[in-house]
Amino acid sequence: MKFIFVCFVLMALSGCYGDSQTKVNDTSESTTEFNWNLPPQMALPVEPADNPVTEAKFQLGRHLFYDNRLSGGGAISCASCHEQKKAFADGKIRPTGGAGDLHPRNSQSLANAAWFATVTWGNPSLTTIEQQIMLPLFGTDPIEHGINETNHPAILQSILRDPRYTALFAEAYPTLQQIDWKQLVDSLATFVRGITSFRSAYDSHLAGDKSALSDSAKRGLQLFNSERLECFHCHDGHLFTDSVRDRSMRVVETPFHNTGLYNIDGLGGYPEPNTGAHEVTGRIVEMGAFRAASLRNVAVTAPYMHDGSIATLEEVIRTYAAGGRNITEGEHIGDGRRNPYKDSFIAGFDITEDEINDVIAFLNSLTDEKLLNDARYGNPFE
Ligand code: HEC
Ligand code: HEC
């Protein structure tokens, strides 16, 4: 039952979630003038063939992103859980939706989401931002925006009646007679796709500024890329994740990894419903397998992991050093270090206190302060 309305709306988009793959362009011809704000080494992200990025859709999407009217109770917007000051994460362990439902997972940063090969923490079937956005808008498990079969016409009308939106829709869809949810979803996806973040101290370092990183951060970078710590195997490339897709790629991989956070039954079990890719595929070998999070802006997106269960970067590093997490009290007792599905790169390592501080200094250098304050991504109603 719960997906019927989602499927109803999705049929209008491109077929029902789960059994359709949105076609993607692998050429750059559809990109109109758009300010991607990219350093030279970054290839452009892929965009769906039926939703090319335009500045007008980006601006329309930015309004919708910050608009509480786009919800059942009139009190929640995308920005409720994706705050610019926190690189579009929210600082909570797990967020609460419009009807008081606690979300099972931690809110993600949206920076550079355009490049992720799959979206959300551990769902191999979600490959476009358009598909993902249906879930917070129309999903019922949990309820986030709380838009449903009954209230959706009135919500759409309240947006369309606003003269400010009339102008924005006319710019974004100059030839379309009737605006429907598809255009709202496409515009929201375009705004999210346009949130790029490559202006950190680390980027200045890459561009040749020898003083951009402190000595400690430089040592941390070396440690991060060392065979002792192994971080770079999963957090690799310009986005610090191995789950990346761009227009230069012929083959796209969608990896998921178990990092040994839980082992609640001694057989490798993760607490329901957060069993990672296994939740979607039912394949036991994917138990606890999640997408390697991009580490850009990670210093401002605490708490960490799919369920927000690690409070600080220091604790994250200590968990990796131990080769996983041994939980000795509370409801999830079990030794994650002995999880049989754990990735072989999570083997544990020796690290000194100074080295922990160096890795943290490096992770701090990935914060793009300009992103956090850039008016281009800010609330247009303020
Ligand atoms: C109630 C809080 C909440 C609201 C409201 C919300 N989100 Fe999210 N968002 C989340 C959580 C939690 C996740 C992780 C979901 C998961 O893994 O299942 C997420 C994930 C995402 C992702 C995937 C990012 C990635 O790295 O893969 C995108 C894109 C996204 N949200 C966009 C939006 C947009 C656009 C809106 C408004 C239409 C929105 N969200 C509203 C909490 C929220
Ligand atoms: C085997 C692949 C793998 C290796 C090796 C690895 N990670 Fe991760 N990392 C992941 C995955 C997968 C997640 C998400 C796990 C989850 O939520 O259950 C993650 C999450 C994180 C997070 C939390 C990000 C967030 O937004 O919540 C940080 C920080 C992090 N890793 C840093 C590191 C560091 C530092 C190292 C090296 C010591 C490292 N990782 C090694 C795969 C890996």
In the chain, the domains with their CATH numbers are 4-197 (1.10.760.10), 201-369 (1.10.760.10)
- Among all chains, which residue has been given the structure tokens 């609330």? 379
Ligand 2 pocket check for 290: Cβ under 6 Å? yes
Of the candidates 107, 169, 168, 179, the residue with the CA atom closest to the CA atom of residue 136: 107
DSSP SS3 for 63 = helix
How open is the CA angle 307-312-313, to the nearest 5 degrees? Answer: 105
- Indicate if ligand 2 lies below 6 Å from the C-beta of 304: yes
Measured CA to CA, the distance from residue 51 to residue 30 in angstroms comes to 9
Tell me the CA end-to-end span of the chain in Å, nearest whole number.
Answer: 39
Q: What is the pLDDT of residues 148-180, one digit of tens each?
A: 999 999 999 999 999 999 999 999 999 999 999
State residue 33's pLDDT score. Answer: 78
Atom of ligand 1 nearest to the CA of 118: 27
Average pLDDT, integer, range 28-52: 84
Q: How far is the CA of 351 from the centre of ligand 1 (A)?
A: 35
Ligand 1, atom 12, lies closest to the CA of: 107
Cβ of 298 closer than 6 Å to ligand 2, yes or no, is: yes
Q: Which of ligand 2's atoms lies nearest the C-alpha of 321?
A: 38
Is the alpha carbon torsion for 197, 202, 203, 209 positive or negative?
positive
- pLDDT at site 305: 98
In angstroms, the CA 37 to CA 193 distance is 12
Mutation to probe ligand 1, out of 107, 155, 186, 245 (largest number of atoms < 8 A from CB):
107
Q: For residues 132 and 121, what is the distance between their CA atoms, to the nearest angstrom? A: 11
**pLDDT surpasses 80 at 4:** no
Does residue 53 carry a pLDDT above 90?
Answer: yes
Q: Which three-class secondary structure state does DSSP give residue 345?
A: coil
Q: Which atom belonging to ligand 2 lies closest to the Cα atom of 276?
A: 18
For range 36-40, the mean pLDDT:
94
- Residue 157 contacts by C-beta under 8 Å, 6 or more apart in sequence? none
Q: State yes or no: pLDDT of 181 exceeds 70.
A: yes
SS3 95: coil
* Ligand 1 atom 22 nearest Cα: 120
pLDDT in tens, 213-245: 999 999 999 999 999 999 999 999 999 999 999
User: What pLDDT is stored for residue 17 in this prediction?
Assistant: 37
Can you list the pairs that 168-173 forms with residues at least 24 positions away whose Cβ atoms lie under 8 Å? Answer: 168/56, 168/59, 168/60, 168/63, 169/60, 171/56, 171/59, 171/60, 172/54, 172/56, 172/57, 172/59, 172/60
User: Quick one: pLDDT at residue 9?
Assistant: 53
6 lines ligand 2 (CB under 6 A): no
Give this prediction's pTM.
0.94
Residues with beta carbon inside 6 Å of ligand 1? 76, 78, 80-82, 95, 97, 103, 105, 107-108, 110, 113, 116, 119-121, 129, 132-133, 136-137, 144-145, 188, 192
Omega of the bond leading into 271 within 30 degrees of 0 (cis): no
Confidence of residue 26 (pLDDT cuts 50, 70, 90): very low
